[in-house]
Structures are given as C-alpha cells and as structure tokens.
Structure 1
C-alpha cells in the first residue's frame, strides 16, 4: 500500500499528521514510531491512563473500547471521546489530542479517584512547606517582584512533590501543601515519598537562591512539616463549585509541625507516625523534640529530618534534572554523537529527523525518572521500550554503548555539579533501565 493510501492520524495539539502505516500497531505505537512523544507509563498495557487521548474526529474509524478501557472509563468517569491510545487500532482518518503532556501532570490524575460529594477516609502523608520572613520580604519588594518570586518559589518546591507521586493540594499565601497516597500506596512508600520531596525542596531552594534570586538580594528559607494519618478526602462544596477538600486532625497536625520549626530552628520535622512507617535506620535524623500541640491532650514527639542514611537513587536523580536538561537538544546531540563514534553502524538505525529523535530521547529519560516513584508501572514500561527498540533494529550489543555514552554525557552536562554519589545513582538507575530493555532485544 502506498503511503497516500494509509489512514492519517492528525495530532491536533502539535498540528502534525502521520500515516498509520502498520495495521497491527496501536495509536500509541504509531506515535512512538513516528517520534511523537506520547506518555505510556505502564508500557501500553492498559493499567495506567497516561496515554489517554481525546478523539476529535473520526470516532467511527477506531476499534471499539476494550474491557480494560471500559473499566478505566467507569472508574475515572470519562466521556465517550476519551480513549486509551494503547488499546486503539485505526481503520480510517482520525484527529486526536493527547491529554497528558508532561510527566508532572500524571500526579493530577490521582484526583479522578477522589469521590464527589461525600468524603472518604484515606491514609495519607501530608507535607506543609512555608516561606520564612515572608511579611518582611513582601514589605521590601514591589508587588510585581513578589509575584515573580512567589511563582518561582511555587514551581521550585512544587516539582519535588510531583516527582514523588504527590499531589499539590493548596497554595495558601506563602505556603504549599502536598499530599502523598491520595490514590493508595503503602504507608511506607507514601512516607518515603513525602520525605524525599521535603529533602528535594531543600536542594531546589538552595539552587533558586544561588541562581535566580541573587539580583533580588534574597535568600529564601523554608520550614517543612510532615505527618501521616487518616484524613477525609473528597470533592466538597456548593453543587456548582466543588473542590478538593482534606479534613481531619492529621492535616492540622502537619501544619503545626511545620510551624514548630520556627521555635526550634530546624528546617524539616517529621512526626512519630512518619518515622514508624519506615524501617528503622531509613532516615538520618538530627534533634528530637517533645511538645503538646493546642487541642491535643497527648504529647507529640518530633524528629529533625536530615536525609536518608543510604544512597537514595531517586533523590539524587531528581536533584540533577534541572542541570541536565537546561538545553535538551544539546544533551541529545552530544549523546548521539558519542553513540555514533563508538558504533558507526548504529547511524543506520536513525534515518528520520534527529532533532525529533533527540526530543523523544530526553522525553523518555525524564519519564523514567518520574516513573521511579511508581515502580508498579516502571518494569512493564521498560519492556515496551525494549520491544520497540528491538523492532527498530537495536540489538543487545548496542546497550553497553548506550550506557557508557549516556553516563559520559551526563557527567559532561553536570559539570561542576557532578559528584561521585550523583554519578553512582545515575549509573545504578541506567544499568537497571538498559538491563531490563536488553531482555527484549533480538
């Protein structure tokens, strides 16, 4: 069949049209083969909803919903135009819109599991982060400057929440609240994720102070409190204006823990319920405090969180993302230059637009870092990538070349920000990634 006779998929968000040139491939597989970034965290197995699309035109030209799609649509209350790209096959021209564009948006999908109207009790970890001396900062800077500073602050400390499978619940003035475990997860994982987010915030704030706020003569300091417990979560309010609400003593206590940092001069405090949720020796702790919060009859024990006792690969990788992908095109160009130098024959595998290929690479790498906080999807996602690369002609012999080229590129991009611990984390993660993908090579 000539290319002009193939059905056409029109991606409306980027106004790009590609031929559906393999009738045995799904829409997701067609996206990837034509170098269009398309999130697929579970590897196209219908277990997540990250590859979701909206069918703009041509709904009759797509295969009927599978059982997996029907169940997903029921749970998440989708209308008929929303489909899973990993479950759809095409028999005529269609126009679609990818609905999840970035890895950061994946966390928001958890809110689809929150009930409407009546709150539901769920065990969650709650993180409060507050800017210190905000009133003084607001007095000393113009309104426009403060708006800029707050936007950068919210973005900087919001990213660690999203990196760690958390949901940004609220911004309240100079404060941000993150929730971990809204859609489930074990007690240990939710508390680990919250602790990693808090430590990531400290890294991010230091970077913000050194790089972006120097001209404002500012040095932002924060206080963070983390608690764990059962709270009621639901979309509550007026029938025409419902919004996410979290109610219960655990969230009030988390706010008080955050505030207690001011009294004792610490940056991150966790409750005893958080500490008990992880194996002994997980956290590096500092000082220990005993206090009784207003409204409580019992005494609370709080612990200063300094870090993880052992190397936490996710935290190391997350803290380096800004440095690595300042210029994504440059990163990809350097990587492929190294690959083609070490394995010249590999160039034949990349006959399409290398700029698009490079963007697909950095998109994939960033998605893997985000997926580390959702390990239930990571392995199947790597299987999908391994099988896809095998179809393109990537054999086992190429993976050591990919690993060494990637490590050299990462070290160069990090520059003075490189540390032995950071490089060890990247090597450990990439060795796992390439090892899993290699299993499915020809």
Structure 2
C-alpha cells in the first residue's frame, strides 16, 4: 500500500519545508509544532492580525476565509494573498511568508487603522525626544562617528516606544517623535505607556553613555516632552505619495514641552493633561513649572517626571531584556540544562532540534514582555501556549521546574545588573504566566 503523501508547507525567507500531517491543525499550529517562531498575540483566535502570512504559491490549496478572517481583511484592506495563519487549513502544498517577524513590528499594524486621504480626530499621547548640543557634537566629531552614534541613539530610544505599544511617527534631525493610542486604548493606558517609554529612554541613554560612548569621549543628553490631547491623524499628501500626518495643537505643544527642558535643566517633562490622566500618586514628580507657550492664552502647568511611585513591572522587565538576551542561544542552553537536571524525564519530550527549541523559547519569552503592553491579548495567548505544551506532554508537575529554572537562568544572565526588585518583577510575571498555562495541563 503506497504511503500517504501529506501537503508540504514551505516557509519562504528561512527556506524551511515541513509536512502538514494533521488536517485539523491550522497553519499557525503547524508552525508551532515544528518549532518555527510565528507571532500570535491573541493565541490564534482571529482577534489580532499578528500571525498574518502572504501566500506566494498554492493559494487554492487553502481553506476559504472564515468570518473572523474576512472581517479582519476588510477592515485592514488586505489583498487576497494575505491570510491569517490561525484561520487557514491546507489541503495541498503551499508556500508562505510570515509578514510580522518580530514583536517590535506589531506596532506598525496600528497604521492600518489610520484613514487614507482624510484626517480623523483621535485622542493620543505624544512624546518628543531631542538630543542636546547635537550641533557641537557634530562639529567636534567626524561624520562616520556621528552616523554611528545617531544610529545607536535612534535604536535605543526607539525600542522603548515600540515596547510600550507606541508608533515611531518620524525622525526630525536629532529628534524622534512617538505616538501612543492611535488605534485606541484608554486615556490612562496611553499616558502610562508614553511615560514608561520616556523612562525607558532615559535608562537606555544612561547605559549608552557609560558603555559604548566612553571610547568616543561623548555623553548624550536629551530632553523629553509628553502631552496628551485630540489631534487629527491620517495618511495625507499627493495621491502617489501619502504619508502619516498628525496635525493639531497637542503635537505642537508636546514639542514645546520638550524644548522647555532647556530652560529649567530637566530631562522629562509632562503636561497637566498627562498628569491628570492617571490616578493621583502614580508618578514620582520632581519640580513643577508654569509657563505660557506662544499662541496660547493660558498658562501651562508642567511636571518633572522622575519615575513611578510604585514598581512598574513592565518597565523593569523591559529594562532587563538586553542583559538577559545578550546571548539568546546561551540563555536557552542554560535554561534547558537546568530543567533536564531537575526533571530528567522531561528530556524525552524534546525530540526535535534543541537549537530550534531554544530559539522558540526566547521568542516566546520576549513576546510575553512585548504583549504586556497589549493585555487584551495576553490571557488568550497564554491559553494557546498552555494547550500546545499539554499536547507535547507537559504536565502540571513540570511547571514548578520551569519556573525555578527560568528564574535561576535570568538571575545568572543578569549578572552584576541583578537587583532584588528586578527579580521580584520577573518572578511575579512568570508566576502569572505558568499559572495561566498549567490550567490546560493534566
């Protein structure tokens, strides 16, 4: 009797081919089963679009769009080649391309909600960050060095925007602008996200100064201003060259707030609209200032942002990711070595390439930190992971081993940067993660 030939899924970009041997599995299930990192923030429930793919060949071999997928496609204006992997079933060979490769790219998906050709009023938090004394730095250093410094600057201050569900709106010379809430969200959340991004920028720049820029004899100083208000957002411009545009007094005021840092020698200033958007006592505030900006008939109250009054778990986790994942392969090796030492029987559950498994582990852990800024998807995403691990044979008894091994590995990788409050933050979130996942274990 001839062997049954299963459909083959080809992943363009990584050149990997896998057999699709379970007709009841979606393409997303197929990716996860074969240890191919594939983003799926909502846990494969068709409520987000992070698992989207482009079908390069074999589109007729996929199931028709479900109602959920059709609604998503119409809202996001997709062409027929773009599909949700969590809603697709294959009946023949297909070649696909994952369209969202990293968690940081998820923020760009918000731009699909911005109207084309008209501007729509939305309530957003706006962050401006500017390098101080940039002209002097440019004169005193050669062009290649300054290009390197600027690239590093834009990377380290852009990451906190993306980690906190923000969108990088534009670069203006030595300045970067971030927007929070362009696709919705509560006023409190958008302002918290912007404040957390600003503090993340501050910490990242301090690290850059103390580590990489010492050899250049440079020290970067910045000014950050945050405002909240209703602005008009749309893709505007020539029909053949439209760009995202944000228009309105709130964005102009955010720029002026950033600039006011120079007058009072502060680092981060927020407007009263931001300060009043969160419960009293949320922010740690330094000095307070009053000023009247050009074109305003009223005085503006500004507050110097120093931090959060209580430990902000997201900020602590975000700040530690670079240390923990300085070598992702090493991190995964140490973690699995600990797991196998504590529970030798678990080794039999891992029958495939451990290098691929390690890549999937760090992808998952980093994704959890990113998705904390989008909590509406976190619980369902963990449910998907819990069910997947249950199918592999992970039981409830294994989760304490996973938790202790993960915490020990994180502490070791943090090294000199390890702090009790940071370990407390990681312990809290990992307890939540493992508790949610083991609900689906036997």
Q: TM-score range by the shorter chain?
A: over 0.9
Displacement of 1:127 in angstroms is 0.2
Provide the C-alpha distance between the structure 2 equivalents of 1:92 and 1:375, rounded to a whole number of angstroms.
Answer: 36
Provide the C-alpha distance between the structure 2 equivalents of 1:83 and 1:441, rounded to a whole number of angstroms.
Answer: 30
Displacement of 1:2 in angstroms is 8.5
Asked if the contact 1:3/1:19 (under 8 Å) is kept, the reply is no
State how many pairs are aligned.
442
Q: What do the CA deviations read for 1:370-398 (whole angstroms, capped 9, x no partner)? A: 00000000000000000000000000000
2:265 corresponds to? 265
TM alignment of 1:125-164, pairs within 5 A: 125-164=125-164
2:31 corresponds to? 31
Measured at CA, do residues 141 and 63 of structure 1 come closer, stay the same or move farther in structure 2, by a change above 3 Å? same
Measured at CA, do residues 155 and 272 of structure 1 come closer, stay the same or move farther in structure 2, by a change above 3 Å? same
TM alignment of 1:196-345, pairs within 5 A: 196-345=196-345
Provide the C-alpha distance between the structure 2 equivalents of 1:270 and 1:321, rounded to a whole number of angstroms.
Answer: 26
1:184 corresponds to? 184
Q: What do the CA deviations read for 1:185-207 (whole angstroms, capped 9, x no partner)? A: 00000000000000000111011
Displacement of 1:3 in angstroms is 7.7
1:89 corresponds to? 89
Provide the C-alpha distance between the structure 1 equivalents of 2:116 and 2:334, rounded to a whole number of angstroms.
Answer: 49
Whether 1:62 and 2:62 are equivalent positions in the alignment is yes
Deviates more, 1:213-222 or 1:409-418: 213-222
Displacement of 1:213 in angstroms is 1.0
Q: CA RMSD in A?
A: 0.9
Structure 2, gaps ≥5 residues long: none
Structure 1, gaps ≥5 residues long: none
Provide the C-alpha distance between the structure 2 equivalents of 1:79 and 1:209, rounded to a whole number of angstroms.
Answer: 46
Whether 1:436 and 2:436 are equivalent positions in the alignment is yes
Structure 1 runs of 4+ with >3 Å offset:
1-4
Provide the C-alpha distance between the structure 2 equivalents of 1:130 and 1:440, rounded to a whole number of angstroms.
Answer: 48
Provide the C-alpha distance between the structure 1 equivalents of 2:437 and 2:330, rounded to a whole number of angstroms.
Answer: 25
Whether 1:169 and 2:169 are equivalent positions in the alignment is yes
Whether 1:390 and 2:365 are equivalent positions in the alignment is no
Whether 1:371 and 2:333 are equivalent positions in the alignment is no
Provide the C-alpha distance between the structure 1 equivalents of 2:3 and 2:411, rounded to a whole number of angstroms.
Answer: 42
Displacement of 1:4 in angstroms is 6.7
Q: What do the CA deviations read for 1:177-235 (whole angstroms, capped 9, x no partner)? A: 00000000000000000000000001110111122111111111110000000000000
TM alignment of 1:63-78, pairs within 5 A: 63-78=63-78
Whether 1:381 and 2:378 are equivalent positions in the alignment is no
Asked if the contact 1:3/1:21 (under 8 Å) is kept, the reply is no
2:42 corresponds to? 42
Provide the C-alpha distance between the structure 2 equivalents of 1:361 and 1:423, rounded to a whole number of angstroms.
Answer: 19
Provide the C-alpha distance between the structure 2 equivalents of 1:287 and 1:278, rounded to a whole number of angstroms.
Answer: 18
